[in-house]
Amino acid sequence: MDSLRSSTPLRPATAMLERVAVGQTRFLTPGLATDARGIALGRYGVLLFSTFDQAVGWLRTYSQEAALDDLLPELSVLAVKTKLGSHAFVIKLPTLASVVLDRAGRCARLVGGSVFTGTSRHFVRFRDDHASYGYDAVELGEVEDEVDFVLHDQVVTHKYVTTERIDVRGLVFQLSLRRVKPARMGVPAGFNRDASLTEEDLLFAIAPGLGASVARYLARHEVRAEVARARGSRAALFRGSGPRSYVLLRAAKLPARMVRSLLDLPGVTGFAAATKNVFVEVGHEHPISLSSLSSLFPAPSLFLFFGRQNVVDEIAGPVMFSDVRQLVPVPRVEAARYARLESTGSVPFVSGIVPRLVPAASSVARVAATLLAWEDAPKLKKLVYLLPSSLLRGYRVAFCERGILIFFPEGGTGLPLGIPLVEKS
């Protein structure tokens, strides 16, 4: 009897958990097992928070340390309540390894949450300073069918029913941006601290009516930049007043003074890159690190997070950029009088003529023949010897006062010589 007492872990009479011993392999909690480090671990981790702000705080803290993309396929954010009507929030995530749940648990405790692990409905408190290898339940008890989570804590068991499933992507879009203090020397926050920026860091959304003016400004200062016309779809992303058109501009090595000049211009919004296709308005930041959630923003679409307007806009891709000089207006010049044709048929070059294409009154007829000048006969002779006989079959030649007249067969490709002649109906 004394030996039995000495081998039994001491615990309070009201304890719901017992500490896992080194090398323990049998557990009362369903789905609980030890990993390679000997830590009791289930398939899932459950983070319990009393308020929604704490749940968002965990997403924010964890995203700064590791990528949430690895957890997103099985991660879920749930609103739960007890039979007595007490509300709470649960984040259920896959336990890829005990080190992952260690990091998730540390971030959860930092914002005031609790950490549990299990596989089905029963979850026990995850390991802490008092139990290096984790915990196991002393008894499971009866569980009602409507209960989704049974969380076994030290002295009490919590039973929760799911009331709402919160979409993670919708949560990211609904969170408002936070203002951040400007960086030193007046360079807007969100940009690099040096005086120049790379094209991956810098993007401007410009009102369509200002596109040409900004293009002239950059072209006058010989700034290498690219522009694209795009149309967003604000109505599809929770907030906003419907679609809106932009002129998107990105520049390489744009001086900080130009950045400030553009940002002070009404109708121009500057963005810093969070990922390759996600941009956040300068002077603001998203509560969650968007780079850890890149799978929520599929390419080739672009996502713009506006801080002052508190909206999110999605621009369907791919977005094709062109040189900024394409928006610089072409100066209008008066066309000079046409010079009279010389007898040789050549047209002298006339400066200032702007060519313009107009629709033809009728469809263009087939080229049926060509008129070759007599002085070009040696060229025709060389061409006949070079071309295969199968290609020349069906061609007919007539000699006249003005030159050599060559008739093409139906479906012939013609010859790159002389003046082409078309059929007239």
Question: How much is the pLDDT for 45?
Answer: 95
Is residue 200 within 8 A of residue 272, CB to CB? The reply is: no
Strand partners, 46: 92, 116
Question: How much is the pLDDT for 103?
Answer: 94
Nearest to 132 by CA among 236, 48, 19, 248: 19
pTM of the model: 0.67
Using CA atoms in the order 12, 14, 16, 20, what is the torsion angle rounded to 10 degrees?
10
Question: How much is the pLDDT for 57?
Answer: 95
Residues 6+ apart with CB under 8 A from 40: 20, 24, 27, 32, 33, 34, 117, 124, 127, 133, 134, 135, 136
The domains of the chain are located at 2-166, 176-327, 367-422
List per-block mean pLDDT (blocks of 10 residues) for the chain, which spans 425 residues: 40 69 89 91 95 94 92 94 92 92 95 94 92 91 88 90 93 88 48 40 84 82 85 56 77 80 87 89 90 89 88 86 77 47 47 58 70 86 78 83 84 74 72
Q: Cα(405)–Cα(43) distance, rounded to whole angstroms?
A: 88
Question: How much is the pLDDT for 180?
Answer: 83
Give, to the nearest 10 degrees, the angle between helix 98-110 and helix 52-65: 130
Is residue 126 within 8 A of residue 73, CB to CB? The reply is: no
